[in-house]
Amino acid sequence: MQNRHSVYLALILGIGTVLLLSGCPKKVETTKASAPVQEEKATPPPEAPKPEPPPPAPKVEETPIVKEAVVPSQGLTDAYFDFDKYNIRDDARATLENDARWLKDNPKVKVKIEGHCDERGTNEYNLALGERRAKAVMQFLVTLGIEKGRLSTISYGEERPVCTEHNETCYAKNRRAHLAVQ
């Protein structure tokens, strides 16, 4: 700023001197704006004005809440977990033993084990936790005699809750491994 000032002052003084030397009879007016208004060649200004191509505004067909198609997994029950834990609880052990029995009765069925978390905790960490839960359930089913090739895993972290209230009853329902028939 100081530099600019002195440049402008120098300019003004310079011009003034030239005018004085050229014998101009009038007094030089130096009281006007000391810095010129610079025209910004911004037509339109670069950043924001560029209409972002990705948001395709014309596509107005917004469908509200598309629920994931519920895969009929009759006979299969979700296993539940404690907060920030992925060990198989005793109640989940019983559940998964039933699930394994059903899978043995239905030997052609393949299952994707979805790991889920409650909304507490942070999204990225919950993705890793959900993955742990899904893999823990897969491992448990394998030890019960289910072929690994029939099982796959995916983690949804806290992104796909089945219950949306903010209380422990809901959180407990969301901390689950869901067995989705493929």
Question: Where do contacts with other proteins occur on this chain (CB under 8 A)?
Answer: 1, 4-5, 8, 31, 33-40, 42-45, 47-50, 52-57, 59-60, 62-66, 84, 120-125, 127-129, 131-132, 153-156, 159-160, 166
Shortest distance, position 7 Cβ to other proteins, whole Å: 12
Give residue 8's Cα distance to chain centre.
50
Residue pair 157/86 in contact by the 8 Å Cβ criterion: no
Closer Cβ to other proteins, 21 or 60, answer by number: 60
Task: Please state, in angstroms and rounded to a whole number, the distance separating the CA atoms of residues 107 and 103.
Answer: 6
Shortest distance, position 170 Cβ to other proteins, whole Å: 13
Shortest distance, position 98 Cβ to other proteins, whole Å: 27
Residue pair 82/175 in contact by the 8 Å Cβ criterion: yes
Closer Cβ to other proteins, 21 or 33, answer by number: 33
Shortest distance, position 148 Cβ to other proteins, whole Å: 14
